[in-house]
Homo-oligomer: A and B are copies of this chain.
Amino acid sequence: MKRREFLKKAAVTTAAAGAALSFGAPAVHAKKRYLWKMVTTWPPHFPVMGEAADMLAKWVETMSDGRLKIQVYGGGELVPPLQTFDAVSGGMVEMGHGAAYYWAGKSPATQFFAAVPFGMNAQQMNAWIYAGDGQKLWEEVYAPFNLKPMPAGNTGVQMGGWFNKEINSISDFKGLKMRIPGLGGKVLAKAGGTAVLSAGGEIYTNLERGVIDATEWVGPYHDYLMGFYKVAKYYYYPGWHEPGTVLEMFVNKKAFESLPKDLQEIIITAAYRSNLWMLSTFEAKNNFYLNKLINEHGVKLKQFPQPVLKQLKKYSEEVLAEIVEKDPLSKKVYENFLAFKKNVVAWANISEIAYAKTLNL
């Protein structure tokens, strides 16, 4: 039998066998199966963020009919949370799930793809990443680490945090010990406060014992779960330091490129779904738990005074200028970010912002 005829015949046999097997017996796949690992920066099955990682894996498995199975590991289950980046970069595992500002030590430019104080909100970040230059720039920042990043969630506007003293003027930040990581912490320092590092599990006790005077966390849902309302007097808004934090999924580039086109597209599309699912879930949960905090636990909501926010914004610009000055890649990213923001805010002023005013008419 000639090779070509053999192949033809084999194809027919295979198809027939597949058809026969589809009743009762497991389906036959001529295609390669993949068993991947995803490490995350979240505790296992952490509400919303961790759940999103779990669901993303499930969607990929279902869409690929089991050809790409992703085992999700919570932070510390396989590697410590903050080694997620290195584990995927080095090829120990194929995928990671976290937030880009955790990797500021690798490259300061990563921070622009998570949250920028007084930066863009969720809708604007998505527009920049998906329909502006954001995705291209993000890939450029992660390329030296052999990673392909993509958005996989968003918290929406976060809360300003829990405080045991009132903030009436910018001078009230002087000497304030607050748990606030990243860029927000640098801004606090400019205002004379001290950014204190506290692991998630220690914040409550630190706040209770006065080791810290204030802490930020996420929003009403997560903050409720942490029980901060029991040990803090005031719940401040808005979360100027994280106005629409992007959560990310990244894939080892070589692993990604080794996949067939259909599985690549499945991963990309699942990440979009995860992004929208997460923001929608946050929106739905946060208003429910905000109600609970106010009505069942008597939480006192307070808005940062506008002059305080104005001053914090000025400090934020200083912090960002210092980063950009030292790192050309940060400069390139931030300039693009700022140009997009300027236009999108002009548009928001006559769309979202103008419309929002009618909601309370």
Contacts and interface: CB of A to CB of B under 8 A. Distances in A.
Q: Is the interface of A mostly helix, strand, loop or mixed?
A: helix
Nearest to A18: B30
Interface in A1-26: 7, 10-11, 13-15, 17-22, 25-26
Contacts of A63: 63, 262, 265-266, 269
B361 A131 contact: no
Interface string A242-283: 010000000000000000111001101110110111011101
Nearest to A8: B25
A329 B232 CA distance: 45
A349 B358 contact: no
Give this chain's copy count.
2
Q: Indicate the member of A10, A261, A288, A340 with the most B CB atoms within 10 Å.
A: A10
B356 A59 contact: no
Contacts of A124: 283
Contact of A261 (B15, B62, B283): B62
Contacts of A17: 10-11, 13-14, 30
Contact of A21 (B11, B239, B313): B11
Interface centre among A65, A118, A240 (most CB of B within 10 A): A65
Contact of A30 (B15, B130, B219): B15
